Structure 1
Amino acid sequence: MLPAVCRFLFVTTLGLITGLSSAAPVDKVYQQHCASCHAPTRLGGMGPALLPGNLKRLKTGEAAEVIRDGRAASQMPAFGDQLSEKQIEGLVDYIYTPLPSPPQWGQEEIEQSHQIHHQQAKLGNKPVFDADPLNLFIVVELGDHHATVLNGDTFEPIHRFETRFALHGGPKYSPSGRFVYFASRDGWISKFDMYNLKTVAEIRAGINTRNLAVSADGRYVMVGNYLPHTLVLLDAKDLTPIRIFDVEDKQGRSSRVSAVYTAPPRGSFIAALKDVKEVWEISYLDEPEPVATGYMHDYRYEEGYMDRGPFPLRRIVLDDYLDDFFFDQDYKHLIGAARNANNGQVVNLIVGRKIADIDLQGLPHLGSGISWEYEGRTVLATPNLKKGEVSIIDMQNWETIKRIKTHGPGFFMRSHKNSPYAWVDVFFGPNKDEVHIIDKATLEIVRTLKPEPGKTAAHVEFDRDGRHALLSIWDEEGYVIVYDAKTLEEVKRLPMNKPSGKYNVYNKTRYTEGTSH
C-alpha cells in the first residue's frame, strides 16, 4: 500500500504526466520499484523528488551507483540484485528527463504535507545541554544528509540528526537562536528546536526550492521556489501556510526565485527573480512605515507596482536580471550580480531604482560578499565564480579599488569584525584545496593554507567572538578544521561527512559584519 503522501500525490498530480505513463519498460520498472517512495509522478513522497532540477548535486554516474548499491544512512535500498545494468541506466535517463509540463504545487498540496512532530508548547524553554546557546553552530553534512549541533566554545558535537535530502541554502535562525529553519532542494521546510534538539514541524512548500528567510521579528518564514514559480509565506510558529505569491511580472511572464533574504531595518523580505527584471520587496510589518521603507515615495505606486493590504508587494523594475545579491550594513542598498556577468547592479531600496553599475567581470558570488572599513571608507569584497580574483569595491562611489589575484575562482568569503583577516576559498579548479588569507588593512594575501591536499577546502565561518575560524573539507571523509583566527594555526579537526556550511547562532542572528545574510 502506498504511503499517504504518495497516494495523495498520485491522485492529485498523475494527470500532469500522462505523457510518462506509457507502457515503456523503463516506466514499468520505475512504477514497480520507485513509485511507492518517490511517487508515481516523480514529485517525491517519503523519498525526494526525482527531477533534473532536484538532482543537480548528483551526477548521473553517482545516481546509478545509488540505485545499484543504495544510500548509506537513508531509507534508500539497493536494487543491484533486482535490476540489470541496462535497467539501471534506463532509470537514470528517465529521472533526469524533464516532465512534459510543469507540475503544480499549490495551497492544497502544501497543506496536505504539513506535519507537526512535537507540540512546541510542551517543550522546555531551557537548553537540555550545558553550552552558550548563542555560540552554537549548525554544521550541515551533505554526505549523508545529517546536521550536527556544535559547541562553539569547546568544539565538541552536542547532537547529530538526520535532515531532509539535499539541504540547499543556509539554515536560518529565529531571532533568539532557539529555532533553526532548514530548506531542502525538493521543497521541504523543517523547524528544529535547538534547545530541545527535536524537529518541531515540517511542510513541503515547493517542488524545487531555492532558499528561505526568517523575518527579523521571528513571526514569518518566506520560501523562494524554482518550481513552481512561487514565494510561500509561512507562520514561523508551526509552518502553517499563510499566503502564496505567484511570481510573475505585470505581463504575466513567470519567474523562478533566485534568492530571498530578510532586511531587518526595513521589516521586509527582498527577493531577486531569475527570469524577470524585477526585485520584489514584501513587507511583514503590521503597518509599513512609509519613511522607513520608501513605499509611499515610489512614483510607481499609483501605476499598480505596489499592492495594498497585508504583506504588500513592491516591485522594483530593473534593466537586467539579478541572481544572488548582497546588502550594505544599513540595508539601504542591494548589490546584485547581473545575468550577463559583465557587471553588478546597485539598487537603492529607498528610492526603488538602480543607481549604479559595478565593474564585475568574473560573475561575482555576491551572496557570499562581505564588507569592512578600509582607510576610512566601507568596502565590499566578493569572490568570483569564473575568474581567479577577489574584487574590492568602494561602497561610496561603487568603483573597483582593487582586484586581488587568487589561484582560481572562489565561492565563499568570510571575515569577522574582530578579525584583521578575510578568508576566501579557491573552490573551482586545480587549486581547490587552498584557502587564501587576505589582510583587510593592506588588501594583500598574507598566507595560503592547504589543509588537506587534494580535497576541496571551503566555507569559513567564525565563532561568536571572532577568535576561531572553522573551515570545511568537502569530502565524505572530510573534516571541520578549527583555526586560531589570529595565529592562523590549526587547533582541532572534527571528522565529518562532507561538511558544507557551518552557521554560528550569534553571527547569523546579529547579522554581523563579515558573514552572509
Structure 2
Amino acid sequence: MPTTRSVALAALALSAALHLPPAFAAPPDPARLFTEHCAACHGGDRLGAIGPALLPENLGRLKPAEAESIIRHGRPATQMPGFAADVLDDAAVTALAAYVFTPLPAMPVWGEAEITASRILHRDPATLPAAPQHGADPLNLFTVVEAGDHHVSIVDGDRFTVLDRFPSRFALHGGAKYSPDGRFVYLASRDGWIAKYDLHSLALVAEVRAGVNTRNVAVSADGRVLMVGNTLPHTLVALDAGDLNPLAVIPVADAAGNGSRVSAVYAMPPRGAFVAALKDIREVWEIPWGEPGRFPVRRMETADHLDDFFFDPPYRHLMGASRDGRRGIVVDMDAGAMVAELDLPGMPHLGSGISFSHEGRTVMATPHLREAVISVIDTGTWTTLRRIAMPGPGFFLRGHETTPYAWGDAYMGREKDVIPVIDTRTLEIVRTLRPAPGKLTAHVEFTRDGRHALVSVMEDEGALVVYDAATFAEVARLPMRKPIGKYNVWNKISYSSGTSH
C-alpha cells in the first residue's frame, strides 16, 4: 500500500480539484486504479506481462515525478499510452505513482514451473543455418544495446554498418554475453527475461523469464549452461544454453536461511565454475558447472559485503569492492580465503577494470565512481602503483592487447563529454577527446584487431563514434538511440585483458 503521506497528498489534490474541504474528499484507491488501467499490461501482481514489472527494484533510477510524467504522457517507442486528465486526474496519477514504488508485502514466487511456462521459442534450432548469412566477419561483430527505444543493433566491425536492429525487452542490461564459439548472444533484462539471438541468421531464437528482477547472466566455458543472478526472488537460476529450459533454481541464503540479492554472477573458465557476488551476505559463492544437472555451492566467507568483482588473468584471485566503497579485498580462490586488502577508496568500479603489462609486471586498473582517479594495482604485491588524476569520476575503462592506450571517461563527473586516453607505458593522460560536446559520452570497445575504438554518445539522439585507435582520428559516426553498451564478439570470447568479462 502507498505511504500515509502519499495518500494524504493525493486526497488534498483531489479536494482542491473539486473545491471540497479535505474531510469530504475520498482519496483515490491506487489498487483499484492499477487493476482498472494497468494490470492488463503489467500484471495484476505488478510482476509484469506484456509490459514490464512495476516494482521499486525494477524501476531502477526512475523518480516518482518521472513516473507521474510517464503515466500522463506515455513512453515514446513503447506501447505505454498516456492517460488524459479526464481519465486519470492529478490525484489519481500521484496515487498510482506512489503505488508502483511500494514494495510487495512478500517475496514473489518465481520457480521452475513459472520459468518453464514463460519460455518462448521463436525459431526451431534445427532450422538455423550452419554458416553466417550476412558476409561479415562473425567474430568482429558488435552487439549494441540501445536503451533510448529498447532495441539492439548488430554492427559489422569492419564496415561499421548495422546488419540488424530488433526490439528488446524493457530495461535491457548493458552487458551482452556470447557462446564460446561466438555464434549466439545472450541478453538479460531487468525484468528477468533472458534472450538468445543467433548471429549467423540474425534472428531471435528463444526467450525465457528466469526471475522477476535480474542482475545479469553468465555463460559456461563449455557453452552448455547459463547462470542467471536475481535480486527478486533471491535465486540463482541455471538454464540450458541450448533451449533455455531451467536446469536448477538455487535459493540464495546464508546458513540461517536469511536470503540475499545477487549483485552479479560471472564465469571463471580456468576453474570450470561460476562465481556470485551477494549483496546481503558476507560470502562469495563458487558453483562448478562440470556435472550435468548438479550445481553444488562452495561458500567462502568474506570480511565485507562485496558488490563487484575483478579477476587476475589466471583467475586465481578475485578482487572485490566493499559495500562502503572504502577498500577492496583479494580472495585466493584455491584457498577460499582473503589474502590481501586493497587501498581503493572512492567506490572502485572493478567490473570495468582492465589488465595490462607495465614495466614487466601485470597490473590492473580500475575507475572510481566517487573519486576522479584511475587506480593502478600491482597484482603481484596488491599495492597501489599510481592514482591517475581524471577529469571526473568514471564508470568504464577499456584497452586492447594491440594498443598501448587505455580509454576512460568522466561519466560521474561534471565533464561527462570527455574521453581521456591514458598511455599504459607512462600512466599519463596523453589525449582528451570530446566526441559530442555537452553530451554524456562513455564506454569504449575495440574492434577484434584493436585498430578501431568505438565510443558511445549516451543520449536519446546519440551515436557510436568510431576512432582510429592509433591516431585518434574520427572514422565513422552511426546514429543510435542512447547506446549504453556495445560488445565485440572476439574480445568477449577470447577474454581480452582490455575488456570486462
TM-score scaled by length of structure 2: 0.93
For 2:196, give the aligned amino acid.
K
1:107 equivalent to 2:91? Answer: no
For 1:260, give the aligned amino acid.
V
Instruction: Give the match for residue 19 of structure 2.
Output: none
1:78 equivalent to 2:82? Answer: yes
1:266-314 CA distance string (max 9 Å, x none): 1110111111111111101139xxxxxxxxxxxxxxxxxxxxx922211
Q: Deviation of residue 107 (structure 1)?
A: 1.6
Instruction: Give the match for residue 157 of structure 1.
Output: 162
Instruction: Give the match for residue 57 of structure 2.
Output: 53
Matched residues in 2 for 1:429 and 1:60: separation?
24
Instruction: Give the match for residue 426 of structure 1.
Output: 410
For 1:479, give the aligned amino acid.
A
Matched residues in 1 for 2:466 and 2:132: separation?
24
1:65 equivalent to 2:86? Answer: no
1:353-384 CA distance string (max 9 Å, x none): 11100000111000001010000000110000
Q: Deviation of residue 169 (structure 1)?
A: 4.5
Other structure's SS at 2:408 match: strand
1:418-449 CA distance string (max 9 Å, x none): 01100111001211111110000000011111
Matched residues in 1 for 2:303 and 2:257: separation?
18
Other structure's SS at 1:92 match: helix
Q: 1:499 aligns with which of 483, 487, 491?
A: 483
For 2:447, give the aligned amino acid.
D
1:218 equivalent to 2:202? Answer: no
Matched residues in 2 for 1:165 and 1:126: separation?
31
Matched residues in 2 for 1:265 and 1:151: separation?
30
Instruction: Give the match for residue 494 of structure 2.
Output: 510
Moved over 6 A (4+): none
Matched residues in 2 for 1:444 and 1:353: separation?
35
1:126 equivalent to 2:131? Answer: yes
Aligned residues: 474
Instruction: Give the match for residue 205 of structure 1.
Output: 210
Greater mean alpha carbon deviation, residues 73-82 or residues 156-165: 73-82
Q: Deviation of residue 132 (structure 1)?
A: 0.2
Instruction: Give the match for residue 329 of structure 1.
Output: 313
Matched residues in 2 for 1:65 and 1:137: separation?
34
Q: 1:353 aligns with which of 337, 340, 345?
A: 337
Matched residues in 1 for 2:423 and 2:481: separation?
31
Instruction: Give the match for residue 411 of structure 1.
Output: 395
Instruction: Give the match for residue 384 of structure 2.
Output: 400
Matched residues in 2 for 1:166 and 1:158: separation?
22
Instruction: Give the match for residue 286 of structure 1.
Output: 291
Q: 1:147 aligns with which of 145, 152, 156?
A: 152
For 1:212, give the aligned amino acid.
V
For 1:256, give the aligned amino acid.
R
TM-score scaled by length of structure 1: 0.90
Q: Deviation of residue 65 (structure 1)?
A: 2.6
Preserved contact between residue 145 and residue 174 of structure 2 (Cα < 8 Å): no
Q: Deviation of residue 118 (structure 1)?
A: 1.1
Matched residues in 2 for 1:170 and 1:131: separation?
22
Instruction: Give the match for residue 300 of structure 2.
Output: 316
Preserved contact between residue 474 and residue 499 of structure 1 (Cα < 8 Å): yes
Q: What percentage of residue pairs aligned between the two structures are identical?
A: 57
For 1:175, give the aligned amino acid.
P
Q: Deviation of residue 513 (structure 1)?
A: 1.3
What value does the CA root-mean-square deviation take over the aligned residues?
1.3
Preserved contact between residue 169 and residue 210 of structure 1 (Cα < 8 Å): no
Instruction: Give the match for residue 46 of structure 2.
Output: 42
1:26 equivalent to 2:10? Answer: no
For 2:288, give the aligned amino acid.
S
Instruction: Give the match for residue 449 of structure 1.
Output: 433
Matched residues in 2 for 1:26 and 1:273: separation?
34
